[in-house]
Structure 1
Amino acid sequence: MISFHAQLVVKFSKKPQLLEQHQATKHAVTQLLDGDTGKNIVHIIFKTGWSCKEKSPEIHRILKIHNSPKILSRFEEYREFVKAKAARNSKRRDERCIADGNELLRFYCSTFMCDLGLNDQDSSICNQQYCSVCGVIKSGFSPKMDGISTLSTSWRAHTAIPEEIEEEFKFMNVKRAMLVCRVVAGRVGCELDEDVDKQDGGADSVLGRGGSGVHTRLDEQELLVFNPRAVLPCFVIVYTV
């Protein structure tokens, strides 16, 4: 008699897309445990930027995202595209873009409605339509978005979402979470640039709120990324303030 595991192997070997879908939904995240070096690093990165004047966030769990090969491939291919484009640009030679696509670590705050990572043994994500975090983990950021807003610190990302959102949508069990993301910023423009657009010759991202000055520091501002393939979520931090 064939075991259940063997049946799954046979089933997935015939249809590879089913295996990818299974891994993307049932093995999407892993909770980092106390004592894990990675957890300590993410914890420090998350807490940096919260001043003593603000309420201190309480971290409930930190989850490592296991991106599907498809999402990871899209990210890496886009980074190579940005590097190649920068190398071809004879007018503005940007060594950072040529080296790694001007890759940065940024924060993106969003909401979720399920019990993501609540059970240590449960590494799956849900299929609820309005569970934004699970949607991003499963399929990446939507191409329908008019730019993806990434912030330099978790505090800045936290303030990008109204404080009362949990209370307002309490009936839907809405909670917030922070995504720690790798971002291929590419060539960063600002609203004053004449060629800021989504075309091949323009900027790949643009400084957002408060970022229109020529001397604005990137690490202090919102960065609006044009292409959804440029943002790869790596960790989910479930917290309350």
Structure 2
Amino acid sequence: MAHVFTKLLSLLFILIHLGCFIIFPTVVHRRHRPKTTRKLLKPHKTLSTTWTYIKHIFSSKPTSQTDTISIIHHAPPSPASSTRSLRNSAINGSLTEPDSFPIRTDIHPCPNCGEIFQKPGLLEQHQAFKHAVSELFDDEPGKNIVRIIFQTGWPGTAKTPMIYRVMKIHNSVNILTRFEEYRETVKSKAERYGRDERCIADGNELLRFHCATFLCDLGQNGNSGICSHQYCSVCGIIRVGFSSKMDGISTYSTSWKGHEAFPDDIEEEFKFMHVKRAMLVCRVIAGRVGCDPGTRDKDDPGYDSLVGREDEELIIFNPRAVLPSFVIAYTV
């Protein structure tokens, strides 16, 4: 009996010992668990966080390390990350908030001088006045070509012209557009009536000369601008084209004929105004050339230009048909 009693007592001691490990730690854990820990370990928030993290892992859009940490800890992104996101949104043009960074689309710099304008029209007006011409220098092949074209046709008995400046004209967009639109008009009319093939091809474009005067220092010392003086004929032609009030624009096949048709004493007579002579090298849309002025009709003359008193003179009735390309300042 004593042996059996000893075994039962040992078993009871073991059970009591095991009960201390099972019961007392649980009681102590419940007694000393902080309230904040119990709040953070709510099942629904833990599951929500886990599910959000899983969705971001398996989404097609890659998630950066910074975003992953933010998802796990429910913390806002860092200031650097916010600044980077705003910069990327501004570049892509996706910012729509009132305090977003504005994208400047109203800046139009001049490619010649770098001056900034807020409207394209102001930039075009600036270029038409300040960068209308540019001087061609001796080392440029274009100057020699223009010089040869100018000197061709001068007779040996005439005084040799002295060229002291050759300038290229930078026509405005409006003048170039009007010139090309008139070319298309001439081509369409030639196709409709089955006229000259040259008119159908390019409007019968020719290279002609027109002599005029100017008062300012056009192209001198690198000056690329034009003046607004009402009596400066060359600057007025460059700025707005030939006047529509003229009863035809006289153009000539050689610069000699253009020079001869201009009064010889014009420079001496207006010397007090510092009048200087210049030759304009022009592209002309001659179209269909007429020979008899009596056949001209006001509404439909049947031709676009007319041969003048001399064979080398060609009178152009539409100012859009004449495009000045070079200015040659010279004297005899």
* TM-score normalised over the length of structure 1: 0.88
> Cα offset for 1:221?
1.5
Kindly report which structure 2 residues correspond to 1:192-231, keeping only aligned pairs within 5 A, or say none.
194=295, 196-197=296-297, 199-200=299-300, 202-210=302-310, 220-231=311-322
CA distance, structure 1, for counterparts of residue 131 and residue 185 of structure 2: 29
CA distance, structure 2, for counterparts of residue 8 and residue 31 of structure 1: 21
**Residue type at the aligned position of 1:227:** N
CA distance, structure 1, for counterparts of residue 157 and residue 237 of structure 2: 32
CA distance, structure 1, for counterparts of residue 297 and residue 281 of structure 2: 26
Deviations 1:84-133 (A, max 9, x none): 1000014xx2100000000000000000001101112x100011110000
CA distance, structure 1, for counterparts of residue 325 and residue 180 of structure 2: 14
> Cα offset for 1:61?
0.6
Give the match for residue 76 of structure 1.
180
Give the match for residue 233 of structure 2.
132
Cα pair 1:198 1:226 within 8 Å, conserved: no
> Cα offset for 1:18?
1.5
Of the three residues 138, 142, 165, the one matched with 1:38 is 142
Cα pair 2:216 2:227 within 8 Å, conserved: yes
> Structure 1: which 5+ residue stretches go unaligned?
211-219
Normalized per residue, which structure has more helix?
2
Deviations 1:172-212 (A, max 9, x none): 11111000000000000012562x245345210000113xx
> Structure 2: which 5+ residue stretches go unaligned?
1-108
Give the match for residue 331 of structure 2.
240
Of the three residues 145, 160, 164, the one matched with 1:56 is 160
Of the three residues 208, 232, 238, the one matched with 1:106 is 208
**Residue type at the aligned position of 2:312:** Q
Cα pair 2:293 2:306 within 8 Å, conserved: no
**Residue type at the aligned position of 1:38:** G
> Cα offset for 1:71?
0.3
Could you say what secondary structure the match of 1:119 adopts?
helix
CA distance, structure 1, for counterparts of residue 278 and residue 297 of structure 2: 30
Give the match for residue 28 of structure 1.
132
CA distance, structure 2, for counterparts of residue 101 and residue 198 of structure 1: 21
**Residue type at the aligned position of 1:81:** T
Cα pair 1:197 1:203 within 8 Å, conserved: no
Identity score, percent: 67
Could you say what secondary structure the match of 1:108 adopts?
strand
Normalized per residue, which structure has more strand?
1
In structure 2, relative to structure 1, the CA distance for the partners of 1:98 and 1:239 (3 Å cut) is same
CA distance, structure 1, for counterparts of residue 228 and residue 279 of structure 2: 19
Could you say what secondary structure the match of 2:287 adopts?
coil
CA distance, structure 2, for counterparts of residue 123 and residue 103 of structure 1: 28
CA distance, structure 1, for counterparts of residue 175 and residue 253 of structure 2: 23
Residue 149 (1) aligns with residue 250 (2):
yes
Give the match for residue 216 of structure 1.
none
Cα pair 1:112 1:175 within 8 Å, conserved: yes
* TM-score normalised over the length of structure 2: 0.64
CA distance, structure 1, for counterparts of residue 315 and residue 287 of structure 2: 11
In structure 2, relative to structure 1, the CA distance for the partners of 1:192 and 1:130 (3 Å cut) is closer
CA distance, structure 2, for counterparts of residue 150 and residue 132 of structure 1: 15
CA distance, structure 1, for counterparts of residue 299 and residue 179 of structure 2: 18
CA distance, structure 2, for counterparts of residue 101 and residue 201 of structure 1: 16
Residue 95 (1) aligns with residue 95 (2):
no
Cα pair 1:109 1:176 within 8 Å, conserved: yes
In structure 2, relative to structure 1, the CA distance for the partners of 1:126 and 1:49 (3 Å cut) is same
Of the three residues 185, 197, 213, the one matched with 2:286 is 185
Deviations 1:48-68 (A, max 9, x none): 010101001000010000000
